[in-house]
Structure 1
């Protein structure tokens, strides 16, 4: 069985294994201890439980080993039966341990604001959206009032074809296929994908993640439904790529900066090319952050989990990226 005490003696190997150095791992495990104890106590006191508190078998994994198991799953996206062999537990126990720790891990990390679903309403900058919980965009803006720029970009992750649910009837145009198959097919990637919008500061701090959308969904539509525009302070600058052309009409209270598009059959002027070059120098930050997120293979490779867990995985990985960016020390609220 993998032992944390032995692995931390090899810092470089330990960092490659789970994405954190031993110091960061130890501090994070200490923050998770009371959260896990409180969550476990709440589970023992739930309605309908028959056994008295203290009865039953003891957990084989303590919090540090449970954290190591979860970080290895996020970092390398190993099959759960292989993780079961490494930690000498059953595959079902691996699944239970990972999904039980994920919400607590996101709570302990400096994770970005992450709405659970996309908002189908027409969202405007002065729309009063409900606020959740330095882990939310509101907290970041209060702690760092000098933030005046938000850089946004969308990224995609491959997934399988959506399966038909029980009771659904096939559509007339696609016999045997679910009606929402086209919703997830990305023409750009040539496969079915999940799209997530990432918003970062110029310093590389992830402050907002959208709920997952189908790969067919346009970047502008994801932005409208992500509840981000209603939370930005007035006068802030929004940096986007060509997919956000026309955003200035949607939110006139903000300064929107997007690259100039080459006219059909024409060429860009020298001035516009220079401006696009300067915009790219600013927007490279979000590209680098997305690269850091996708070093965790659970955010890059073929997604094989349930769709309802996708946002939680991305929230935890973004929190780990923020953790390393913020002075390599946990920034807990």
Structure 2
């Protein structure tokens, strides 16, 4: 029996949260990254556009492989093969370095993503077995400029930042962070100390810092419309390969 979902405006917008032209941008990226080549086995039973739709729907809805198989009229094994083949190809493109003399303001924060793989996550402050995913956004455009490979959720944000590879990518930008990033060289709020209340100017600076840094929380809220970030069942690098496409689709939704 044939599947229900096809690359049509109604289904694309309902099941991915992207408009058709945004989805076409996603397909174009996969095609440019040789995603239309053979999968190492039998020929694909779906055209490239529908394979990209399978992956986008999977990240958006977090349906099981069996449920997706019923929607697309294919086998569960084919769904798994499509996700494993195309998921990494939807990775976020590396952010261009700021041009010389151009001041860029970026914001970093970590978000906890519940995971099933015990080798990836740890018991965390959200009372779930989670991983910590570090994300950097541009303060002006609110686009995601970089993400790091997730670490166990019991690791502090400062530890996750230092071991993420992100400091090198952000070397030419001013990066804001919250108080959890103490001693990292990032711009964090002034701290109150015993017997030393903050000066009025410091209070004002902290208020402005909170106002700007809130943009990364808004970005997390938008990214978590994709249910894969509520309960990732993928093992190994599965969460890393999920965060990257979700960030990529967030950027497409804001720019295309």
Q: Distance in 2 between matches of 1:36 and 1:302?
A: 26
Q: Structure 1 unaligned runs (5+)?
A: 45-55, 112-134, 164-179, 249-255, 329-333
Asked if 1 retains the 8 angstrom alpha-carbon contact of 2:116 and 2:235, the reply is no
Is 1:87 aligned to 2:72, yes or no? yes
Question: Counterpart of 2:35?
Answer: 36
Question: Counterpart of 2:58?
Answer: 73
Q: Distance in 2 between matches of 1:324 and 1:73?
A: 17
**Secondary structure of the residue that 2:110 maps to in structure 1?**
strand
RMSD: 2.6
Q: Distance in 1 between matches of 2:4 and 2:117?
A: 36
Is 1:162 aligned to 2:91, yes or no? no
Q: Which moved more, 1:97-106 or 1:311-320?
A: 97-106
Asked if 1 retains the 8 angstrom alpha-carbon contact of 2:60 and 2:225, the reply is yes
Q: 1:222 and 1:85, CA in 2 relative to 1: closer, same or farther beyond 3 A?
A: same
Greater Rg by CA: 1
Q: 1:32 and 1:192, CA in 2 relative to 1: closer, same or farther beyond 3 A?
A: closer
- Deviation track 1:123-150 (CA, whole Å, cap 9, x = no partner) reads xxxxxxxxxxxx213xx12579735222
Question: Counterpart of 2:225?
Answer: 295
Q: Distance in 2 between matches of 1:257 and 1:72?
A: 37
Is 1:210 aligned to 2:148, yes or no? yes
**Structure 1 residue 267, shift from structure 2 partner:** 5.2
Is 1:21 aligned to 2:14, yes or no? no
Alignment map for 1:175-254 (pairs within 5 Å): 184-186=122-124, 188-202=125-139, 203-234=141-172, 236-248=173-185
**Structure 1 residue 4, shift from structure 2 partner:** 2.5
Alignment map for 1:38-117 (pairs within 5 Å): 39-40=37-38, 43=40, 58-106=43-91, 111=92
Question: Counterpart of 1:272?
Answer: 202
Q: Distance in 2 between matches of 1:247 and 1:27?
A: 36
Q: Distance in 1 between matches of 2:81 and 2:50?
A: 14
Asked if 1 retains the 8 angstrom alpha-carbon contact of 2:25 and 2:252, the reply is no
Q: Distance in 2 between matches of 1:63 and 1:143?
A: 36
Runs of 4+ in 1 over 4 A off after TM superposition: 142-145, 264-269
**Structure 1 residue 30, shift from structure 2 partner:** 4.3
Asked if 2 retains the 8 angstrom alpha-carbon contact of 1:154 and 1:196, the reply is yes
- Deviation track 1:10-56 (CA, whole Å, cap 9, x = no partner) reads 3xx6323112111222343345346233x318x47xxxxxxxxxxx6
**Structure 1 residue 95, shift from structure 2 partner:** 0.7
**Secondary structure of the residue that 2:175 maps to in structure 1?**
strand
- Deviation track 1:72-115 (CA, whole Å, cap 9, x = no partner) reads 10101011111111111111111111111112232xxxx1xxxx
Q: 1:222 and 1:3, CA in 2 relative to 1: closer, same or farther beyond 3 A?
A: closer
Asked if 2 retains the 8 angstrom alpha-carbon contact of 1:242 and 1:259, the reply is yes
**Secondary structure of the residue that 2:97 maps to in structure 1?**
helix
**Structure 1 residue 273, shift from structure 2 partner:** 2.5
Is 1:317 aligned to 2:254, yes or no? no
Asked if 2 retains the 8 angstrom alpha-carbon contact of 1:159 and 1:302, the reply is yes
Q: Distance in 1 between matches of 2:225 and 2:5?
A: 24
Asked if 2 retains the 8 angstrom alpha-carbon contact of 1:19 and 1:71, the reply is no
What TM-score, normalized to structure 2? 0.87
